[in-house]
Amino acid sequence: MQRAIDKLEPFQRAISKAHLASAGVSIDSLENPDKPLIAIANSWNEVCPGHEPLRQLAAEVKKGILEAGGEPIEFNTIGMCDGVAQGHAGMRYCLPHREIIADSCEAMIVGEGCFDGVVYMGSCDKIVPAMLMAAARINLPAALVTAGPCYDEIKPSESKALRARFLRGEATEREVIEGTLKYYTGPGICPFLGTANTMGCLTEGLGMMLPNGALWPSSTSQRRFSARQTGAAVVELVRRGIKPSDIMTQGAIDNTVKLLASIGGSLNALIHLPALAHELGLECTWTQVAETTSHTPVVCNVVPNGDISCVNLYKAGGVPAVLKTIEGDLDGSVMTVTGKTLAQNLTGDIHIDRSVIRTQDDPASVANGIQVLYGNLAPEGALVKTSAVPADQHVWSGPAMVFNSEEEAFAAYNANAIKPGTGVVVRYEGPKGGPGMKELHRVTEIMKGIPNSAVITDGRFSGASGGLSVGYLCPEALDGAPIALIQDGDVIHVDLNKNLIEVGVSDDELARRKQDWKPVIHENGGHLLARYAKQVGSAKTGAVIQ
């Protein structure tokens, strides 16, 4: 593989290499084609707890690169924490910053033109998908490293109970902070199966991460060893000429959807996987996902699907154990960053704790962990994480209470205006309408305290959201879709047994309302979101920039 700078005319080549050498890059590495230059694209920062460990892990990656005969060169990009951005306008930036990260990696790696391979380092919700998108777009030999989940000292249900006490006025802010630190015990990915851990698991399933790389806990030596081994692995990928396009094939995407269904992962994966497929020139549609999830059993109940954490899943064998459990449904011929096929990675003795990771034919392993719903309220689809919906809400009806923003819904809740049995509709929170497609986790959290209620939105949810939460409605409200035409008191009907979501309003009445409809335009707060709103596509196709 020839670097772009090596194709320069001799004088400019020497000057470009001199700049790199002045930053500390070995002259021998610059002159020796057998010593690959490996970029480390690191989203380390001190804001996001999932990213704080990445500085130390980058040092381990560098050791692995050097030991394998390569030369590491590190640069940084951004990485937001969704937990900090929750509940305010800053959440509008979280999904758009996925594109910023992918673009920044492209600018540095392609723009500098001096790299042979890349180790991408990121941990959380939009950052891991962004790194995968960059790897697909740039297509230099690459692998990913995350910080891994933090250990939890208390059960997920205890953390939820503490938050519920606060919402009832029975706990102070200080008590919530200190109590939550028993669940998030230190730097690392939040311990539940939210989007962060889901995307880590899916990256491993894709073959873009070393086995066990998703769930080694953040505080362990094994996490550091895995980072070190990843650095060495990328040097070997360069030497063998194995690129992301050789790994992230259609077969690998299909395998990853089956893994997503088997763990009951985050709905946000149904934005990120289509976006990744778009970068690769492949397909991952909601229709394909629905077909897979309709017959693929959920084999482990990690919160929000149950009351165990990702650390429990790690102890039970992690992603390799889940892949081994569903091996018969997978394409084992796909390549991985180990330089071996998936089938080869799954040979040998893989520890599996069947009290955590069930067999597919276990009576408790039920399909439809994720469903795509259709009806006159969502002509192009809506998503629900069925594995986190109580059985008594699989068929539900109730009157709508309509809000044109997350803030309006919070105000109604704080005024005790939302009654039991209500369908809370939060609209104009889609990719264009938000703009930025806010994650409405706090709305789903407060609604858990209102019996037999539901949330319906063109926004999206955290992977930790539970209850009857139907989101990602397409088309979104800003496009004049049916969700924009609902009025207070309209009866909404959801039937998960029939993949159905509808509003009890005739087509003629919806058409009449459409004639009087005027869109709600939110203040976007700056140039970035205004530009994003003009360029972003539908949620169902990955909310990619057009």
Q: Would you please indicate which residues are annotated as catalytic (active-site) residues?
A: 462
**Percentages (nearest 5) of helix, strand, coil residues in the chain:** 45, 15, 45
Reading phi first (left if > 0) and then psi (alpha if -120 to 50, else beta), residue 465 is in beta
Alpha carbon distance 172, 193 (integer Å): 27
Q: How far apart, in whole angstroms, are the C-alpha atoms of residue 260 and residue 319?
A: 11
Distance between CA atoms of 119 and 457, rounded to whole angstroms?
Answer: 37
Find where tokens 């028993």 sit.
Answer: 182
End-to-end CA distance of the chain: 31
Report yes or no: 162 and 176 within 8 Å, Cβ to Cβ.
yes
d(CA 158, CA 155): 5
| Residue 290 CA to its chain's centroid (Å) | 18
Q: By C-alpha distance, which of 459, 392, 367, 449 is closest to 416?
A: 449
Q: What is the DSSP letter of 86?
A: T
Phi–psi pair at 500, nearest 5 degrees: -125, 135
CA distances from 163 to 187, 359, 449 (A): 21, 34, 11
Rounded to whole angstroms, how far apart are CA atoms 436 and 441? 15
- Cα 43 to the chain's mean position, in Å? 15
Both structure tokens of 278: 């778009």
In whole angstroms, what is the distance from residue 523 CA to residue 278 CA?
30
Q: Write down how long the chain is.
A: 546
